[in-house]
Structure 1
């Protein structure tokens, strides 16, 4: 995806998130984020935007975070202020400009443009689930990119860099292959002790222990565990439940 496309998606999903949370009960529970209310979710997104703004402005991610003075700021006011600062920072820089990030292969503003577009669409879904609103479709290109980002940038990179966090999950793995497939895109994941590799896939599913398939929005919601008990998932999962659980646990560990 082009960076301009990510920025357009960021703007659209921010607008939807804001439209959902403004009239909502701030104390309403967000089922996809256990323990959070709508106010907590709103505040969190604002904190994330400010954190990434400083990562670009200062050339390194701020640590510790968040600062104490943010705790008492009104969630909606923080969200609006932080989004304005984030967009101003993006507008003042080029995607190839340097920026600090936890992902060593990409230390650029472009990394955060992509990441914030994906962060916002997932939390927009959280807001919809927490307020009982219909979950709006995710554009196919954004959804497919979000699946790839989760598998490659979050899980594969985390297993390679911080393998000890995954030892309990993967040390006893017999070695498994997963195919995740959606319209126009597919990925093959291979796991084993100390291993989680991802490649774009154009072959068939014959050798897979587990296949996960469905429309882009549905698969994105499945990998991010943003499904709803009140609606069909739209995803077909075929394979050993124990193997599916192994993949799920890797994703949760990499994204918590």
Structure 2
């Protein structure tokens, strides 16, 4: 099912509540295994700043990128106050997104330019970092299947739109096809064609040089580099070297 801007706003609002709940239960000093060198406090600070930066971009209809450091963030001095700070910033972001005119051009680095890009982008920015915080707690994160499948679409679409400007992808000299198959949602199949310096993708079934099967949530976390393809939650067939090289260049 195609999701609208308002759908993404509603899903973002729900994801913000989940993130705030995880943040409130996490030790700010705990290490985040999926973000080497980061503590939970650094993760929460990053997310809170990202929300305020995106809200500023949308509210001001920014046609050019604004450096995040130029956006007042009001970061609390005590990391114990981060959960409330994140909740406040997230609420402001959702309010701004919901009332933004969809036809107003707003800068973005991926596919699409407008409020609809940012509601979707912030949904998955928040969901993946919520997963990071849960990994720090020793929990197993999950994203609802249909939402996660939309996240795979968003990831691949932005990656293809970035093309050769995505520095790591520009270094990839492989040519081959990758098939990702979600086992828990209809229509959750993607064919990716890797080519020197870029990639393309489409929905559908096909025979790839390598194929990966898993839940939509787990595929989303795989693409973001949060779980490795050798994890037993995945079934992998074919050229594992191609998969590893492609993931190493595209995960962020």
TM-score range, shorter chain: 0.7 to 0.9
The runs of 5 or more residues in structure 1 that have no matched partner are none
Kept in 2: contact 1:6–1:113 (CA 8 A): yes
1:66 aligned partner: 69
Q: Distance in 2 between matches of 1:228 and 1:237?
A: 11
TM-superposed deviation, 1:77: 4.2
Pair 1:247–1:14, CA change in 2 (3 A): same
2:161 aligned partner: 157
Kept in 2: contact 1:189–1:199 (CA 8 A): yes
Kept in 2: contact 1:21–1:131 (CA 8 A): no
TM-superposed deviation, 1:65: 2.0
Kept in 1: contact 2:213–2:234 (CA 8 A): yes
Let me know the Cα RMSD of the aligned residues.
2.5
Pair 1:72–1:88, CA change in 2 (3 A): closer
Structure 2 residue matching 1:22: 3-state secondary structure:
helix
Alignment of 1:166-177 (within 5 A): 166-170=169-173, 173=174, 175-177=175-177
Kept in 2: contact 1:43–1:78 (CA 8 A): no
Structure 1 residue matching 2:25: 3-state secondary structure:
coil
Kept in 1: contact 2:29–2:41 (CA 8 A): yes
Describe the superposition over 1:194-216 as per-residue Cα deviations: whole angstroms up to 9, x where unpaired.
331111124x32xx110011111
Pair 1:106–1:30, CA change in 2 (3 A): same
1:220 aligned partner: 220
2:200 aligned partner: 197
Say yes or no: does 1:144 pair with 2:149. Answer: yes
1:120 aligned partner: 126
Structure 1 residue matching 2:178: 3-state secondary structure:
strand
- Normalising by structure 1, report the TM-score: 0.84
The runs of 5 or more residues in structure 2 that have no matched partner are none
Describe the superposition over 1:206-248 as per-residue Cα deviations: whole angstroms up to 9, x where unpaired.
xx1100111111111111122289xx65221222232112211
1:36 aligned partner: 38
Alignment of 1:236-247 (within 5 A): 236-247=235-246
TM-superposed deviation, 1:29: 0.7
TM-superposed deviation, 1:132: 2.0
Q: Distance in 2 between matches of 1:133 and 1:213?
A: 22
Q: Distance in 2 between matches of 1:244 and 1:219?
A: 13
Structure 2 residue matching 1:190: 3-state secondary structure:
strand
Q: Distance in 2 between matches of 1:215 and 1:69?
A: 39
TM-superposed deviation, 1:97: 3.5
Worse overlay, 19-28 or 65-74 = 65-74
Kept in 1: contact 2:75–2:85 (CA 8 A): no
